[in-house]
Structure 1
């Protein structure tokens, strides 16, 4: 079997490296753009759901959220129904950075899909969703402190 996950990893790392360089102009550092985009697109999301969405542990998410808040990109507001939860929202600074981040994402998608037919792009999307769903089962299992058997 081909090393599919290596290819996916190389694609992800290349795009992440590009983004980290290009997003310096909007004052975002390593990986912060992922959080900012998801918070903008899901106003009021709580930290735990955001971490799950991005597939990182809570500590990693907490650090990134703390930095984004300190930089003025996002703000936390207490949930009126559950004071334990803090909802996350983009600030004016975060809102103004979003169009740039969205354009970059669309451009990277366009470059990645160069030479693909609409049908091929849709098939790839469907297949990658299946791969993600397969991996999510193990991710959730290991996240809960379990060990996989190889």
Structure 2
């Protein structure tokens, strides 16, 4: 039986393989692409905010940030109000690679939508946006229910 998740998961896994290949010479893997984009767009974001923004658990963020920090892409500093809160900043290395990371995203989007008219692309993105909003609402509702137990 075909399910929506079959298609979404396959596209996601293929995108990771693509980014692994395209960004390897920059010292990044396919998963770190999202972190670079979010951290460069939101310097000083907390690890907790980052986890919520990209819909992964805090331990995953901590592991990926440790790798990015070891590679010289980010620095982490304790927050001034709460020393337990770690704030994440891009280094110059991250800022230098940022345009290449965005270009890789654009190239992937272009490859997937090649041959679609502007109208078809608009329709596709509006439907995907709707599905994303529903997924976020469902995940938030599930997460809130878990927190209440």
TM range, smaller chain: 0.7 to 0.9
- State how far apart, in whole Å, the 1-side matches of 2:110 and 2:133 are: 24
- State how far apart, in whole Å, the 2-side matches of 1:20 and 1:145 are: 36
8 Å CA contact retained: 2:19, 2:29: no
Partner of 2:66: 66
- State how far apart, in whole Å, the 1-side matches of 2:143 and 2:63 are: 18
* 1:144 Cα offset (Å): 5.0
Partner of 2:101: 101
Matched, 1:50 2:35: no
Unaligned runs of 5+ in 1: none
* 1:30 Cα offset (Å): 4.5
- State how far apart, in whole Å, the 2-side matches of 1:128 and 1:42 are: 24
Partner of 2:11: 11
- State how far apart, in whole Å, the 1-side matches of 2:120 and 2:84 are: 45
- State how far apart, in whole Å, the 2-side matches of 1:61 and 1:145 are: 23
Q: Paired residues, what number?
A: 146
Please provide the CA RMSD for this pair: 1.9
Q: Deviations over 1:68-126 (max 9, x none)?
A: 11111001133334433222111011111111111111111111111222222122112
Partner of 1:88: 88
Moved more, 130-139 or 37-46: 130-139
TM-score by length of 1: 0.86
1:43 is paired with a residue whose SS is: coil
* 1:35 Cα offset (Å): 0.8
* 1:139 Cα offset (Å): 2.2
Matched, 1:78 2:78: yes
Partner of 2:124: 124
TM-score by length of 2: 0.87
- State how far apart, in whole Å, the 2-side matches of 1:93 and 1:109 are: 25
